[in-house]
């Protein structure tokens, strides 16, 4: 199980969200009397571990298992399945039940869908003639708090579902999650949305409020002042660039999952049997991690070096001179942070083995060349060479999509040539993948002039002479490139979107700015488009709170850029980030990869 993050410092009471989800799960299990075996869909396991501790489940007579093709090994008569609404998972459950039947095992079966049941899944049970044997229910887990300012809807396929399959059910799910938040924190009065899916979510949210109103008394100030919704489609450049913050790089190379990474114990200096894996927690409960997670990796290495040197000096002084009790106490306090120090020195050392490779540095240079729209031919040749060298497919696709997006597609002969080369090198079974990318508009033929140079210039996305040690702009997260998505958030909060309306029109999808919940006449909820003082405080003296929702995923580098913005002088508001999933270039491109057959 992952380490549950401490939510005490959250800008709003996120603990209440976790407690509510925990209570719902406990009640669900209590209703099934006696000892039971809880069989969890593996992808839900991590989310669940951030909601409830294994010890609490044991207290309620629960044995925990993960769903797989293998039969469930348990002495329990009652088997409770907790799964996402996916037909493939239903087939595994049917296979498990049929296996029990063939062995003559008499059991009671319960299937709880997260967050809601679907007709398609129930149909699988009917087809297998098992629906009479199963009690069906729902566990409405719409939001998982990953950290004190980060929420996830855990919809890893939302972007691909919408763009390729035309399945927009995730948009209802997102609106439902936000509506659920409003029941805890009040109706959000200001909404800004950019992108087709975002505008649709804003519309569904209003319909939900009309059908199932959040009754906020007139005098009560909603805790969240503004909701900003952004489609990933609006800015696909950012997630395809290599993140250069500490947490971003940890995700790029080690894949952060539910606030932890899993890696060989030997990397962490634990001398155990060869190949033994260990989980390393990464959230704001670790004070050192909270301090360094959002910094550019170059700076992190320097900070860790300084801290280690300082500790060494303290140790030398303590052993060579007489210390007062108070000085000894201070030193012991410092020693308490030693495990955290050791953990991050080991992680940073391991990351350096990747970041110092010529291949990584060469890729970084190429990304900058593409983003700066410098030389079409050089970029094309670089990608062609990657294919010829048979570099990992995801690496190639990631750079190819970045190249295609910034150029509004590839020249026809280049598009045809690279498509043919990719299929020859990696196999014709990847035709479906390339079709998916084309359908999503990520790899296509050039039909018009690219807007990218205009957008880049107007929003100052490329910042020369970025000081990564003392940054004064969000561009530090990519050592010179300011994430487009966060520039849009910056404008939405500082001056509204009206001043950049012409630029917004060059980006995919419609945009809207609207007020809701009957606050339009209240001076306290003045539109954020006024002077920055308008949003400095809400009437009871708290900082204004902005909820930024990313539909289709957000990267750790973007999260770092938002935290950086929030900490700036004169930017007196707190930010909470919600996303369908935390992604990086690889995990995002991976959702489009499908093989034929």
Fold classification of 246-355 is Syntaxin Binding Protein 1; Chain A, domain 2 (3.90.830)
Place of tokens 């932890």: 260
Give ∠ CA 429-432-434 in degrees, rounded to 5: 105
SS3 198: helix
Q: Considering only CA atoms, which of 589, 592, 584, 590 is closest in space to residue 252?
A: 584
Distance separating alpha carbons of residues 304 and 63, to the nearest angstrom: 42
Distance separating alpha carbons of residues 152 and 173, to the nearest angstrom: 12
Give ∠ CA 71-88-70 in degrees, rounded to 5: 15
Provide the CATH number for the domain formed by 14-141 in this structure: 3.40.50.2060
Q: What is the pLDDT, as a whole number, of residue 535?
A: 47
How do residues 120-144 score in pLDDT, each as one tens digit? 999 999 999 998 999 999 999 999 9
Q: Considering only CA atoms, which of 436, 494, 481, 420 is closest in space to residue 455?
A: 481
Helix 297-320, helix 338-355: angle, nearest 10: 140
Tally of helices (H runs) and strands (E runs) in the chain: 24, 14
Provide the CATH number for the domain formed by 142-241+373-446+455-597 in this structure: 3.40.50.1910
How do residues 296-347 score in pLDDT, each as one tens digit? 999 999 999 888 787 776 666 666 665 666 665 665 566 566 788 889 999 9
HSE-CB at 72 with a 13 A cutoff on CA atoms is: 31
The residues of the chain scoring below 50 in pLDDT are 1, 519-537
Distance separating alpha carbons of residues 559 and 553, to the nearest angstrom: 11
**What stretch(es) of the chain map to CATH 3.90.830.10?**
246-355
Region at 373 (left for phi over 0; alpha for psi -120 to 50; beta for the rest): left
Q: Considering only CA atoms, which of 287, 297, 284, 286 is closest in space to residue 250?
A: 297
Distance separating alpha carbons of residues 172 and 504, to the nearest angstrom: 25
Q: What is the pLDDT, as a whole number, of residue 541?
A: 58
Q: What is the pLDDT, as a whole number, of residue 294?
A: 97
Distance separating alpha carbons of residues 545 and 402, to the nearest angstrom: 33
**What stretch(es) of the chain map to CATH 3.40.50.2060?**
14-141
């Amino acid at each position: 199980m992952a380490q549950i993050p401490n939510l005490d410092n959250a800008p709003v009471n996120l603990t209440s969200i976790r407690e509510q989800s925990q209570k719902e799960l406990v009640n669900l299990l209590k209703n099934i009397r006696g000892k039971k075996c809880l069989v969890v869909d593996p992808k839900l396991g991590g989310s669940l571990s951030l909601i409830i501790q294994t010890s609490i489940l044991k207290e309620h007579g629960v044995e925990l298992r993960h769903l797989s093709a293998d039969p469930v090994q348990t002495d329990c008569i009652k088997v409770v399945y907790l799964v996402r609404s996916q037909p493939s998972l239903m087939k595994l459950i049917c296979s498990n039940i049929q296996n029990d039947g063939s062995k003559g095992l008499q059991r009671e079966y319960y299937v709880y869908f997260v967050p809601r049941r679907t007709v398609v899944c129930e149909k699988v049970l009917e087809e297998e003639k098992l629906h009479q044997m199963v009690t069906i229910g729902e566990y409405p887990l719409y939001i998982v708090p990953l950290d004190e300012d980060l929420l996830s809807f855990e919809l890893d396929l939302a972007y691909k579902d919408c763009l390729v399959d035309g399945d927009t059910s995730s948009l209802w799910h997102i609106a439902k999650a936000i509506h659920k938040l409003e029941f805890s924190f009040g109706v959000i009065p200001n909404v800004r949305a950019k992108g087709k899916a975002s505008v649709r979510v804003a519309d569904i949210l209003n319909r939900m409020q009309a059908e199932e109103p959040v009754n906020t008394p007139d005098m009560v100030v909603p805790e969240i002042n503004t909701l900003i919704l952004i489609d990933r489609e609006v800015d696909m450049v950012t997630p395809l660039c290599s993140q250069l913050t500490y947490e971003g790089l940890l995700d790029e190379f080690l894949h952060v999952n539910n606030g932890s990474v899993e890696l060989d114990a030997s990397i962490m200096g634990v001398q155990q049997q060869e190949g033994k894996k260990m989980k390393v927690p990464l959230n704001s409960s670790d004070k050192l991690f909270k301090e360094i997670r959002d910094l550019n990796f170059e700076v992190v290495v320097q900070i860790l070096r300084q801290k280690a040197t300082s500790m060494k000096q303290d140790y030398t002084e303590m052993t060579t001179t007489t210390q007062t009790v108070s000085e000894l106490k201070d030193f012991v306090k410092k020693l308490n942070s030693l495990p955290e120090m050791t953990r991050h020195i080991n992680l940073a050392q391991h990351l350096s083995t990747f970041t110092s490779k010529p291949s990584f540095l060469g890729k970084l240079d190429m990304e900058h060349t593409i983003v700066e729209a410098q030389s079409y031919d050089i970029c094309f040749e670089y990608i062609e060479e990657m294919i010829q060298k048979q570099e990992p497919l995801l690496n190639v696709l990631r750079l190819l999509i970045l190249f295609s997006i910034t150029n509004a597609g590839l020249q026809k002969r280049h598009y045809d040539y690279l498509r043919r080369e990719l299929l020859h090198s990696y196999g014709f079974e990847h035709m479906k993948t390339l079709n998916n990318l084309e359908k999503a508009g990520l790899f296509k033929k050039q039909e018009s002039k690219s807007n990218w140079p205009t957008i880049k210039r107007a929003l100052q996305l490329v910042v020369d002479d970025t000081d990564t040690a003392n940054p004064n702009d969000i561009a530090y997260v990519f050592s010179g490139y300011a994430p487009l998505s966060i520039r849009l958030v910056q404008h939405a909060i500082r001056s509204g979107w009206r001043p950049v309306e012409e630029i917004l029109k060059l980006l995919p999808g419609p945009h809207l700015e609207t007020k809701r919940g009957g606050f339009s006449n209240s001076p306290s909820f003045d539109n954020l488009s006024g002077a920055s003082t308008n949003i400095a405080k809400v009437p009871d003296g708290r900082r204004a709170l902005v909820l930024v929702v990313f539909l289709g995923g957000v990267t750790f580098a973007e999260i770092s850029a938002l935290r950086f913005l929030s900490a700036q002088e004169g930017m007196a508001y707190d930010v909470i980030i919600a996303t369908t999933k935390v992604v990086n270039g690889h995990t995002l491109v991976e959702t489009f990869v499908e093989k034929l057959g």
